[in-house]
């Protein structure tokens, strides 16, 4: 797959969130989910976000995707609003639930994003995406005939087939067993290295974050704020399991939040 065509933001960041906050409700019933978060993600950078359950990580991801409007603050993607990037179909998203069409083959599920965009499916790109995720010979199967790992591979192929500039992932392997998750972590590292979109991964797994990311952001409990950023200076391809010292540093930060 070719490298996506990217515009360059004026400050060099692909994604730039400034003083980002999100609250739900009003008056005394108002609940703050994210508070005063500022971060940047560079082109071809892989950022992982860790934090306690329910702290607001997914809300932050949805604001970057343009699915949630910030209460205060701004988000720009390559210098423009996320909605502009979404209209160009340059944002790929992968969730914990792959949300595949049960009556369609895995190939048809990958093609579906073209139909949503009002475009004719590009068969060459579809085949390339299926091959990239290791499903080239299995794409005729329907979701109920496929394993959980295969369904998530399909969701990843669907997110990548239109060659997005930005890839957003929210616990994509959270529902899988430990062995399958570890195997797909290695596959995702390989796949990402081949296409290198700007990427944000929300995860609860320290090992996953350190294995995959260039930088790990640790969030506080709700409302989510950034408490620490840790650079992962490991070359790619990376060994598994990930570096013990880095994992310990991230764990200590999370344990401090619990304390």
* Average pLDDT estimate for 238-243: 63
What local confidence, expressed as pLDDT, does residue 259 receive?
Answer: 57
What is d(CA 174, CA 183) in angstroms, rounded to the nearest whole number? Answer: 13
pTM of the model: 0.90
Residue 135 pLDDT greater than 90, yes or no: yes
Residue 147 pLDDT greater than 50, yes or no: yes
Query: Which 3 state secondary structure label does DSSP give 46?
Result: strand
231 strand-pairing partners: 215
Within a 10 A sphere around the Cβ of 219, how many other Cβ atoms? 24
Quick one: how many helices (H) and strands (E) in the chain? 8, 9
* pLDDT tens digits along 46-95: 999 999 888 999 999 999 999 999 999 999 999 999 999 999 999 999 99
Class of domain 13-90+164-258: alpha beta
What local confidence, expressed as pLDDT, does residue 138 receive?
Answer: 96
What is d(CA 190, CA 125) in angstroms, rounded to the nearest whole number? Answer: 18
Instruction: Identify each DSSP E strand in the chain by its residue range.
Output: 13-24, 31-42, 46-50, 72-77, 91-95, 166-170, 198-202, 215-219, 226-231
What local confidence, expressed as pLDDT, does residue 6 receive?
Answer: 42
Q: What percent of the chain clears pLDDT 90, i.e. is strictly above it? A: 71
Residues 27, 55, 86: CA angle, nearest 5 degrees: 90
DSSP H or E stretch at residue 209: helix 206-212
Q: What percent of the chain clears pLDDT 70, i.e. is strictly above it? A: 92
Residues 227, 233, 237: CA angle, nearest 5 degrees: 125
Question: In what side-by-side order are the strands of the sheet with 226-231?
Answer: 91-95, 166-170, 198-202, 46-50, 215-219, 226-231
What local confidence, expressed as pLDDT, does residue 248 receive?
Answer: 75
Q: What is the mean pLDDT of the chain?
A: 89
Band of pLDDT at residue 9, cut at 50, 70 and 90: very low
What local confidence, expressed as pLDDT, does residue 154 receive?
Answer: 97
For β-strands 198-202 and 166-170, DSSP reports them as: parallel
Band of pLDDT at residue 1, cut at 50, 70 and 90: very low
What local confidence, expressed as pLDDT, does residue 258 receive?
Answer: 67
* pLDDT tens digits along 172-211: 998 898 889 988 988 999 999 999 999 999 999 988 999 9
What local confidence, expressed as pLDDT, does residue 13 receive?
Answer: 85
Helix/strand/coil percentages in the chain, nearest 5: 35, 25, 40
Residue 3 pLDDT greater than 60, yes or no: no
What local confidence, expressed as pLDDT, does residue 29 receive?
Answer: 82
Asked if residue 98 lies in contact with residue 184, where contact means CB atoms within 8 angstroms, the answer is no
Residue 165 pLDDT greater than 80, yes or no: yes
Q: Torsion over CA of 164, 165, 169 and 172, rounded to 10 degrees? A: 40
């Amino acid at each position: 797959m070719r490298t996506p065509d990217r515009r360059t933001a004026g400050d060099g960041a692909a994604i730039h969130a400034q003083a980002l906050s999100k609250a739900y409700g009003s008056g005394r019933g108002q609940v703050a989910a994210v508070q005063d978060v500022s971060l940047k993600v560079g082109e071809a950078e892989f950022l992982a976000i860790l934090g306690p359950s329910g702290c607001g990580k997914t809300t932050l991801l949805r604001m970057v995707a343009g699915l949630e409007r910030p209460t205060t603050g701004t988000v720009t993607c390559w210098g423009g609003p996320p909605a502009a990037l979404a209209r160009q179909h340059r944002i790929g998203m992968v969730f914990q639930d792959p949300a595949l069409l049960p009556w369609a083959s895995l190939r048809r599920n990958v093609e579906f994003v073209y139909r949503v965009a009002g475009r004719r499916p590009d068969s060459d790109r579809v085949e390339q995406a299926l091959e990239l995720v290791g499903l080239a010979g299995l794409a005729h199967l329907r979701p109920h005939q496929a394993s959980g790992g295969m369904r998530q591979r399909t969701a990843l192929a669907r997110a990548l087939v239109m060659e997005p500039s930005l890839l957003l992932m929210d616990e994509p392997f959270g529902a899988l067993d430990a062995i399958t998750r570890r195997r797909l972590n290695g596959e995702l590292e390989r796949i990402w290295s081949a296409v290198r979109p700007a990427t944000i991964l929300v995860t609860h797994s320290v090992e996953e974050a350190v294995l995959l990311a260039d930088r790990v952001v640790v969030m506080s409990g709700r409302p989510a704020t950034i408490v620490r950023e840790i650079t992962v200076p490991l070359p790619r391809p990376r060994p598994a399991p990930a570096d013990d010292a880095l994992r310990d540093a991230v764990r200590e930060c999370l344990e401090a939040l619990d304390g």
